[in-house]
């Protein structure tokens, strides 16, 4: 099962509603479709979503690093030699989504070769996840209307609220409005994308003490080392590290150093192989995890739910699996459907990513 070709195809699909958060905003899904081909005719597929404001990757950099560095290094290896593939990819620091998409495409090949769904190969814990919806920056009444719409149409009852603007006049007010409108039965947590200081975060958490938040994520920068530890030590809820701790070693450092007490796992940036390393580190250290969303399209969401449903620890909390709802279109021939607040893993061998070739022709940027 030799790897004979690795393709990186840039495509762009506009968002119907842009997502705004403290570190940036997304108007177009300018992602990269990654396809790995073997000499036996199997093709593994995944997508890499560049997040320049978070990791510095761009659509152009992902295409370039795959075409010029990663593809030449892995051609000729067997798709079964995942550790050897990783040893080569990890010579290069950074470029997380390019590496992750190659990893997931290889797992797709493994699943197809074994005649097994990837989720089953990874762990096969369950066949679905509860969905958490991310509510981006907007006036409080629009954030409430969005959450009510998503609850009424898709049955979603867990919401991650983006904070990190002006804490007391905007963010706390928005969270209050959401809790008042949605009532006690929904689950709310917040993500600051490093937008507040440690002292702003502490005061905001005190002001929201009655709101029953489940988690607080990246409220202030992890690089504010002592300030962040001071904040985490007094946080009334588990404090999630997201972009500050992505690889297993970073996760271990942040958890042992007291800069986080829970972890966001995103297959978009650690694929399946490195996500399992992160997950197992978290299980060993005894902290909760949340399947995060890197503003994935449907292909990335299918990968997230395959991983999240595969393991007991990831399936315990709702996974962030709904950002694709805001896109005007997607590449999957059979679109994903969120029903009763849950998303199911796709059945069949591999990841079940069937690309609509007409849509790919319409949205690809390289022709
Ligand atoms: C999140 O959880 O932070 C925003 C930027 C990014 O890289 O991911 C998103 C969501
Ligand atoms: Mg986050």
| pLDDT tens-digit series, residues 150-208 | 999 999 999 999 999 999 999 999 999 999 999 999 999 999 999 999 999 999 999 99
Best residue among 191, 241, 296 to mutate for probing ligand 1's pocket (most ligand atoms within 8 Å of CB) is 191
**Tens digits of per-residue pLDDT, 89-123?**
999 999 999 999 999 999 999 999 999 999 999 99
Find the residues whose C-beta lies inside 6 A of ligand 1: 21, 23, 51, 54, 191, 193, 242-243, 292-295
Q: Is 152 a catalytic residue?
A: no
Query: Active-site residue among 266, 298, 320, 330?
Result: 266
> What pLDDT sits at residue 367?
86
Instruction: Give Cα separations from 167 to 147, 156, 170, 314 (angstroms).
Output: 20, 26, 6, 30
At 124, give phi and psi (nearest 5°): 60, 35
Dihedral class, residue 245 (left if φ above 0, else alpha if ψ from -120 to 50, else beta): beta
Query: How many A from CA of 24 to the centre of ligand 2?
Result: 12
Q: Is 330 a catalytic residue?
A: no
Given this structure, which CATH class describes domain 120-344?
A: alpha beta
Max CA distance (Å), the chain: 60
Q: Where are the beta strands (DSSP E) in the chain?
A: 3-21, 24-38, 43-48, 128-135, 158-162, 187-191, 216-217, 239-241, 262-265, 288-291, 319-320, 342-344
The CATH number of domain 3-115 is 3.90.550.10: no
Q: List Cβ neighbours of 358 (8 Å cut-off, separation of 6 or more).
A: none
* Domain layout of the chain by residue ranges: 3-115, 120-344
CB atoms within 10 A of CB 64: 15
For the chain, which ranges sit under pLDDT 50? none
Q: Is 294 a catalytic residue?
A: yes
């Amino acid at each position: 099962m030799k790897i004979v070709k690795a393709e990186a195809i840039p495509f762009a699909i506009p968002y119907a509603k842009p997502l705004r958060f403290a570190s940036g905003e997304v108007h177009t899904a300018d992602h990269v479709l990654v396809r790995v081909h073997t000499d036996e005719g199997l093709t593994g597929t995944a997508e890499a979503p560049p997040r320049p404001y978070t990791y510095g990757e761009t659509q152009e950099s992902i295409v370039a690093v795959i075409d010029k560095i990663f593809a030449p290094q892995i051609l000729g290896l067997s798709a079964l030699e995942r550790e050897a593939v990783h040893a080569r990819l990890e010579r290069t620091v950074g470029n997380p989504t390019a590496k992750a998409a190659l990893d997931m495409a290889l797992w797709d090949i493994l699943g197809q070769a074994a005649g097994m769904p990837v989720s089953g190969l990874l762990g096969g814990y369950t066949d679905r996840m509860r969905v958490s919806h991310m509510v981006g920056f907007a006036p409080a009444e629009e954030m409430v209307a969005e959450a009510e719409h998503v609850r009424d149409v898709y049955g979603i009852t867990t919401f991650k609220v983006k904070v990190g603007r002006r804490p007391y006049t905007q963010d706390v007010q928005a969270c209050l409005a959401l809790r008042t409108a949605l009532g006690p039965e929904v689950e709310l947590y917040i993500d600051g994308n490093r937008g507040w200081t440690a002292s702003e975060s502490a005061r905001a958490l005190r002001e929201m003490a009655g709101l029953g938040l489940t988690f607080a994520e990246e409220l202030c920068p992890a690089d504010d080392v002592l300030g962040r530890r001071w904040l985490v030590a007094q946080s009334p809820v588990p404090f999630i590290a997201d972009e500050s701790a992505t690889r297993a070693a970073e996760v271990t450092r942040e958890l042992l150093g007291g800069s986080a007490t829970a972890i966001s796992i995103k297959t978009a940036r650690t694929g399946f192989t490195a996500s399992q390393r992160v997950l197992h580190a978290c299980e060993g250290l005894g902290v909760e995890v949340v399947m995060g969303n890197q503003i994935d399209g449907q292909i990335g969401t299918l990968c997230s739910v395959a991983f999240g449903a595969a393991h007991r620890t990831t399936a315990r909390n709702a996974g962030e699996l709904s950002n694709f709802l805001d896109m005007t279109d997607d590449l999957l021939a059979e679109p994903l459907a969120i029903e009763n607040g849950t998303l199911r893993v796709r059945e069949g061998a591999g990841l079940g990513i069937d690309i609509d070739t007409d849509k790919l022709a319409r949205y690809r940027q390289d022709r």
